[in-house]
Amino acid sequence: MNGYDVKALRRDFPILDRTVYGKPLVYLDNTATSQTPRCVVEAIQRMYYNNKANVHRGVHSLSQEATDMQEATRERVRRFINAESVEEVVFTRGTTEAINLVASSFGDFLENGDEIILTVMEHHANIVPWQLLGRHKRITLRVVPINAVGELDMEAFRSLFNERTRLVSVCHVSNVLGTVNPVRDIITEAHGHGVPVLVDGAQAISHIKVDVRELDADFYVFSSHKMYGPAGVGVLYGKRHLLQAMPPYQGGGEMIGHVSFENTTFAELPFKFEAGTPDFVDIAAFHQAIDYMEEVGVERIASHEQELLQYTTGKLMAIPGMRIFGTSPHKCAVISFLIGKEHHYDIGMLLDKMGIAVRTGHHCAQPLMTSLGIEGTVRASFAMYNTFEEADSFVDALRRVSAMLG
């Protein structure tokens, strides 16, 4: 790609220079977690060496510095997703906690008999929290199916709305199929019925430029560790009027206004949802990860990944018995596949011996696997630092594995 220097980028990721079983590491498990550039690791180190103090609680200089760094990241996230206000940016431990927060807090408004629309391609993190809510209230989950290429059946989606529909919760990008869902159309349809929408953006945020106001999303959730940042940090974006109406998710320090044994009042947004000591070190370093992504360019990263996707897909289809799941023309750089009747675990284990890191299993999407009539897949996923040489190494190794198992 013109002007895209992947070799220079790779120098920022020391882990890519290591070997596995004496073979150069080819890391193709980026959908599970991306690697972290040197500048982010250095930001964590600087924080521990120079600025470590609890935030929002001290008048001393270190506490003020740490607080300023955390809140600077909140503003950086706001700009990155084009939220209207920092009040709409809540820090969590990850996408999973963000969805659980909404399920618990927004779910407080739901009543017996209410319905939530999900899709068959959802990650367990966007299924189980709603089922847990259903333990306390008789909530019905309505599920949108997919077509043969792994796209949502939008006609079926539109047919699921009725007077008891209270929420739509949908992934922006499938972590298995790579399908990019038409979330703007989904939100428009839902809003036409007066129904808010939560978008699970965990698999989209590092591949697609997200503008929450352009999407008109009511909630948008994602994780730092999938966008070259530290683990243990997530974001819940929510429209201010919804967050203001929702009760706190957890109780403790920081989220309070005043506490007595008779009554407690709660802090203003976003702090009423941030009980306890946050991961202020990694939150501060998350700022560097966003800066890094934007310096490279989200669109340029996506273009590089799409070239890798098309190149690798073409080579894989020449392998006898190859079956790729998710063939929509609108997909991110994820390839889930099986070869003949070979077990995905066997393929993954043999690839690992050759230095190729891929993911195997149901990918926390068992309902999707059931709908596809399989137990699991092998999944290869690309990031900004992957190369065409690595794609060739992956395909060559897979040919060897196929011959060994065949």
pLDDT tier at 2, thresholds 50, 70, 90: low
Tell me the CATH class for 6-30+297-405.
alpha beta
Mean pLDDT across the stretch 217-226? Answer: 98
Its CATH architecture, for the domain 41-294, is: 3-Layer(aba) Sandwich (3.40)
* Pairing verdict, β 165-171 and 197-200: parallel
Judge whether residue 256 has pLDDT over 90.
Answer: no
Instruction: Say if CB 53 and CB 38 are below 8 A apart.
Output: no
Q: Is-same-fold flag (6-30+297-405; 41-294)?
A: no
CB atoms within 10 A of CB 38: 13
Q: Say if pTM beats, i.e. exceeds, 0.85.
A: yes
Among all chains, which residue has been given the structure tokens 């203003």?
A: 268
2 or 384: whose pLDDT is higher? 384
Asked whether the predicted pLDDT for residue 159 surpasses 90, the reply is yes
Distances from the Cα of 57 to the Cα of 60, 61, 70, 255, 376, angstroms:
9, 11, 13, 12, 48
Average pLDDT over residues 291-316: 98
User: Looking at 39, 171, 332, 364, which residue is catalytic?
Assistant: 364
- DSSP designation for 7: H
Peptide bond into 270 cis (omega under 30): yes
Q: Is the pLDDT of residue 369 over 60?
A: yes
Percent of the chain residues topping a pLDDT of 70: 100
pLDDT over 80 at 280, yes or no: yes
Closest to 65 measured CA to CA, from 76, 81, 52: 52
- pLDDT (tens digit per residue) in 323-343: 999 999 999 999 999 999 999
296 Cβ partners below 8 Å, 6+ apart?
Answer: 9, 384
| DSSP letter for each residue of 267-292 | PPTTGGG--S---HHHHHHHHHHHHH
User: Does 393 have pLDDT greater than 80?
Assistant: yes
Per-domain residue ranges of the chain: 6-30+297-405, 41-294
Give residue 255's pLDDT. 84
Over the chain, what is the mean pLDDT? 96
Q: Tell me what pLDDT residue 1 has.
A: 46
Kind and range of the H or E run holding 81 = helix 61-81
Distance from C-alpha of 253 to C-alpha of 240, rounded to nearest angstrom: 22
The yes-or-no verdict on residue 81 having pLDDT over 90 is yes
Question: Which of 81, 109, 122 has the alpha carbon at shortest distance from 216?
Answer: 81
**Can you state the percent helix, strand and coil of the chain, rounding each to 5?**
45, 20, 40
Known active-site residue 364: yes
- pLDDT tens digits for range 91-132: 999 999 999 999 999 999 999 999 999 999 999 999 999 999
Mean pLDDT in residue range 355-369: 98
* Structural tokens at position 245: 């109406």
Whole-number pLDDT of residue 260: 86
Pairwise CA distance, residues 297 & 86, whole Å: 23
Give residue 254's pLDDT band: very low, low, confident or very high (50, 70, 90). confident
Structural tokens at position 283 = 């939150």
- Residue-level pLDDT at 57: 75
